[in-house]
Amino acid sequence: MQRAGYGRGKTPRRPGPKKASNIDKDPVGVYCRIRPLGGEDEECCVEMISSSTIQLHAPDGLKANRNGEYKETQYSFKKVFGINTTQMELFEDIAKPLVEDLIHCKNGLLFTYGVTGSGKTFTMTGSPGEGGLLPRSLDMLFNSIGPFQAKRFVFKPDDKNGLEIQSQVDALLERQKRDSQQSVPKTPSSRQKADPEFADMISSEEACKSDSVDEDCCYSVFVSYIEIYNNYIYDLLEDAPFDPIRPKPPQSKILREDQNHNMYVAGCTEVEVKSTEEAFEVFWKGQKKRRIANTQLNRESSRSHSVFTVKLAQAPLDADGDHILQDKNQVNVSQLCLVDLAGSERTSRTRAEGSRLREAGNINQSLMTLRTCIEVLRENQMCGTNKMVPYRDSKVTHLFKNYFDGEGKVRMIVCVNPNAGDYEETMLVMRFAEMTQEVEVARPVDRPICGLAAGRRYRNQAFKDELSRRLEERGGPSNADDPALVNHLIESLPALPGCELVDPADDQTLPRLIEVLERRHRVRQMMSEQFNKTANSLKSMLQQFDSQLSAKDTFLHEQQNKLSEKDKLILNQRSEIERLEKKSKTLEYKIDILQKTTGMYEQDKRSLQQELETREQRLQRELSERRRMEQRMQGMVTDTRLKWEKECERRVNAKQLEMQNKLWVKDEKLKQLKAIVTETSSTSSGGGGGGPSERPEKPERPARERDRNMAQKRSASPSPHPDFSQTPSRQNRASVRAVQDPLPTSTPSSSSSSSSSAYPSVASCISEWEHRFPVDSSSQTRHPGTPQYRSRTPAPYYGASSVGRRRGQRWAAGTEAPAATLVYGLDLEAGTRTAPPVRPTHRRSQSAGGEKWVDHKPASNLDLDTVMQPIIPNAIKVSTPSEKALSKCHKYVLRHQELASDGEIETKLIKGNVFKTRGGGQAVQFTDIETLRQECPTAPRMK
């Protein structure tokens, strides 16, 4: 927070008190307490070896190293308390010295640490019949200072972490105001009237007190109770007015620093208590407001860190020993903080959700900050560094900053649950405790001795008792202010003479009365002189005794200082010896661990070398086997290629021979047909007496070499073998149907004369066959892809005057005529019936953009922000395939996404062709798969 000043600069921080560099320091005292197991069937993982050492065993389900052996670790503490330790034994060793220091104006911090459900709250609070550290500390404090407590409201908090002294009148007014308002609960008169939650917590035989209380001081106890929940500080003793209509949540408090650089909670309620029962009631009032919840691991799990602070104020009496010295600088304030930290927990085990999950996260974060602060403190002290300790990262560490940076005693109780389920969390707690023991805190110094003489309260009381005794010896009452004592003194004076005055001028009675009064006056003067003389002598004797006592006290104090210095020296040497012994044991233990680790590493190295050699040998064998396999496969490929080349050559030769045979058969048929035609024409011309026209010469048949060359030019695809089982007449009919032979035409006169002849001409025969079996014009179209027209035979004649006739069509000379036709499904060459041809639809060239795609992209696919995207132009995009979309396209592609082994999404494009089925539908035949995959170059490769 900045103040608005000149130049808007920050307010300079007030320098703290300079501490001497040679301040004695003590390590943090870390103790361990083991709670009993919850059930007999639970597995135990903690073993107590000695009074200062425990050993952790890994549970059966957890293997600590790669060899499968259980790893056992040992941890040392200042003292270890087993499962049979009572609350009284724990208090005697840990909390009782802190209460002694509190009475001697020294600060102390005691906190419990551990996993949830390990017994921290029970150790700190306890239960009826088994009071914990907190109630026992309060009981010891009030048993020690009970007779020397100041009246209520003599000490008053100044709201700045300090206390001031009020006068007797102001304190009396405050008490009267308290009695009228009844805002503060009165002290119970007996233990039976206390809260039943704390009834019989501490038995009378277990009560203890301190014997070194300064009787020349007056004491007063103030308590406060806060909790740190979700890194916010709440006052558990604050009496906020409750509004039933609009209840307000509790307001959080802030931390501030006082003039002595100590952290405190601003605005925190501090209640003055005068007895153990009253302190119990105040504590239970705040305990009922503390946040607890039921989790999977603990039925009443603390969800916040609680801090119960006991502040003790003491001030010396004046020189007379009657009243408190009215000097604020003489007031000494010491405090003892009793902290119950919330347990660390794993949400995987507690199954926390919602607010429980947020609470667990804040608890673990604050405990992690505490560990970090301890690590930095340890590093600064051991290595001489000056790193900044992150106290401000958490309210817990910020509140206790002055304990670690200042002076005082710090004690930590590590609570351990030996259940095997808490093994991993217990390991972390043990490591933190082992590290905390190496942090040192400045030892608290003794408070300055007041300049007044010691024993003032006792001497004042002794003087009063002696005065009362002497008065009693004289026969008078012990109280000098008693009216009977005054009457006794009056009676001891000379008696007045009986006289009666009747005249003011009486010369006999008045002189006698004057004489008696003068004698009584002299006696009174003598008594007063004797009393003053006795008082002076007694005062001088008391002063002499005071001087002698002060001299003896000074001498005794000097001797005590010398003795304490010797004790400090002995303790320092002893602690140094213990530290060196502990360090040597730690180093020996680390050496053993390193030797074991080195042996394990060497054994692993040898095993890995053997494994590497074995793998290299196996790799060499696999490589040689692969080379042999490649050579064998090359030989097999060569043999297979040669075999198939020979087979192909054999098949080609067989097919050529077959085609030559077919050509020879057709030539024979053609010769027979020519003979029939020639015989018919000659017969008709001879019967008509000869015509003026002459027959053209018979064209010569091409040579056999030419036929062989023409056979080589034909297609090598196989053709159906001729059926030689048919009769010659059928073969002749088939030849007549199939052959479209160009013949030399005659003149019109000869044709007309021949048509009138009894023997019909070739044209009339063909016309007759065509009228009998009409030929479909569409069947004349050649389809090279159909099986019926895979073999074509050229015309055997190439004469210039050759004219072919088919249904009135003329074929030019030298053109190729079809060797066979289909008439109503008849193969004229083979003489068999075939199915009607399937005419595929016309297909445009791919370069012309005739293909259309069906882009099938399911709705579950994700859009990836990659550069390469499967973009298909001229496509119909669908989420589900439909018959309408398939009927319009030729290609089909499906986008399929799946998760690869490295966690990236892999996209596959499955492509196929669309075919029309005979039933009128569409079918898809998949032909190709493309894979689009995204990889991270920095990600580790999977083996």
Annotated binding site: 114-121
**Residues 932/906, Cβ–Cβ less than 8 Å:** yes
Q: Which two tokens stand for residue 255?
A: 């931390």
d(CA 338, CA 134): 7
Query: Is 670 exposed, middle or buried, given 0-12, 13-18 or 19+ CB atoms closer than 10 A?
Result: middle
Q: What does the angle CA 722 – CA 726 – CA 731 come to, to the nearest 5 degrees?
A: 75
**Residues 247/134, Cβ–Cβ less than 8 Å:** no
Q: Angle, to 10 degrees, between the axis of helix 704-713 and the axis of helix 509-687?
A: 160
Q: Which of 170, 171, 165 is nearest to 151 (CA)?
A: 171
Ramachandran category for residue 928: left, alpha or beta (phi over 0 → left; psi -120 to 50 → alpha):
beta
Q: Which amino acid is at 201?
A: M
Dihedral sign for Cα atoms in the order 200, 225, 370, 386: negative
Three-class secondary structure of residue 540 per DSSP: helix
d(CA 893, CA 871): 11
How crowded is the C-beta side of 96, counted as CA atoms within 13 Å? 14
Q: Which two tokens stand for residue 133?
A: 């550290």
**Residues 413/110, Cβ–Cβ less than 8 Å:** yes
DSSP string, 611-631: HHHHHHHHHHHHHHHHHHHHH
DSSP string, 433-474: HHHHTT-EEEPPPPPPPPSSPTTHHHHHHHHHHHHHHHHHHT
What's the chain's length in residues?
A: 943
Q: What's 871's DSSP letter? A: -
d(CA 600, CA 291): 49
Q: What does the angle CA 525 – CA 528 – CA 529 come to, to the nearest 5 degrees?
A: 85
**Residues 712/659, Cβ–Cβ less than 8 Å:** no
**Residues 107/442, Cβ–Cβ less than 8 Å:** no
Q: Which of 447, 446, 443 is nearest to 406 (CA)?
A: 443
Q: What's 119's DSSP letter? A: S
Q: Who contacts 36 (Cβ-Cβ below 8 Å, separation ≥6)?
A: 83
Strand 108-114 versus strand 409-416 pairing type: parallel
Phi, psi of 293 (to 5 degrees): -150, 165
CB atoms within 10 A of CB 94: 22
Phi, psi of 13 (to 5 degrees): -75, 140
Q: Which of 307, 272, 311 is nearest to 106 (CA)?
A: 311
Sheet holding 853-856, edge to edge: 875-878, 853-856, 891-899, 905-916, 922-933
Q: Which of 298, 299, 305 is nearest to 340 (CA)?
A: 305
* DSSP H helix total and E strand total for the chain: 19, 33
Sequence ranges of the binding site for ATP: 114-121
Dihedral sign for Cα atoms in the order 256, 262, 263, 264: negative
Strand-pair partners of 131 = 126
d(CA 837, CA 822): 11
DSSP string, 241-295: PP-SSSPPPPPEE-EEE-TTS-EEETT---EEE-SHHHHHHHHHHHHTTS-EE--
